[in-house]
């Protein structure tokens, strides 16, 4: 039972390069989320999905795109990486909205540096 798995764990990119972060969950959760965590800023929601084939913008969506083609996977894409996107990215999933008996389960993060 892996829970939420993020791939890769670390990555260094040059400005302008593109990449995709993968999040996979094996709990059959409907909701999935992408956050970024920066010092002094806390966790900020980038995009989220309430089900397969759906996506929605969060607090800081600019410069990112997402796709939820399969229920268990949620992809975060950076089309043209910028140094301001250097951060730790966390994926989370939950059965519903993430409270009560449906807490958000987080992965262990992807550490991304943009040079």
Partner 1 sequence: QKEVEQDPGPLSVPEGAIVSLNCTYSNSAFQYFMWYRQYSRKGPELLMYTYSSGNKEDGRFTAQVDKSSKYISLFIRDSQPSDSATYLCAMRANTGNQFYFGTGTSLTVIP
Tokens encoding 39: 């010092």
The CA distances from residue 45 to 1, 8, 37, 115, in Å, are 26, 19, 9, 23
Least distance CB 68 / partner 1 (angstroms): 14
Least distance CB 66 / partner 1 (angstroms): 14
Q: Which is nearer to partner 1, 15 or 113 (by Cβ)? A: 113
Q: Which of 58, 112, 47 is nearest to 85 (CA)?
A: 112
Query: Which positions lie near partner 1, rule CB under 8 A?
Result: 4, 31, 35, 40-45, 48, 50, 56, 58-59, 90, 92, 97-100, 103-104, 106-109
Least distance CB 52 / partner 1 (angstroms): 16
Q: Which is nearer to partner 1, 79 or 108 (by Cβ)? A: 108
d(C-alpha 114, C-alpha 84), whole Å = 8
């Amino acid at each position: 039972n892996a829970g939420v798995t993020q791939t890769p764990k670390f990555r260094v990119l040059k400005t302008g390069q593109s990449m995709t972060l993968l999040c996979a969950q094996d709990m059959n959760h409907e909701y999935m989320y992408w956050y970024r965590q920066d010092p002094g800023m806390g966790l900020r929601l980038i995009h989220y999905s309430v089900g397969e084939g759906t996506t929605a913008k969060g607090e800081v969506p600019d410069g990112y795109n997402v796709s939820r083609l399969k229920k268990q996977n949620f992809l975060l894409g950076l089309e043209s990486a910028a140094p301001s996107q250097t951060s730790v990215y966390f994926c989370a999933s939950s059965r519903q909205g993430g409270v009560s008996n449906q807490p958000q389960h987080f992965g262990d993060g992807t550490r991304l540096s943009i040079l």
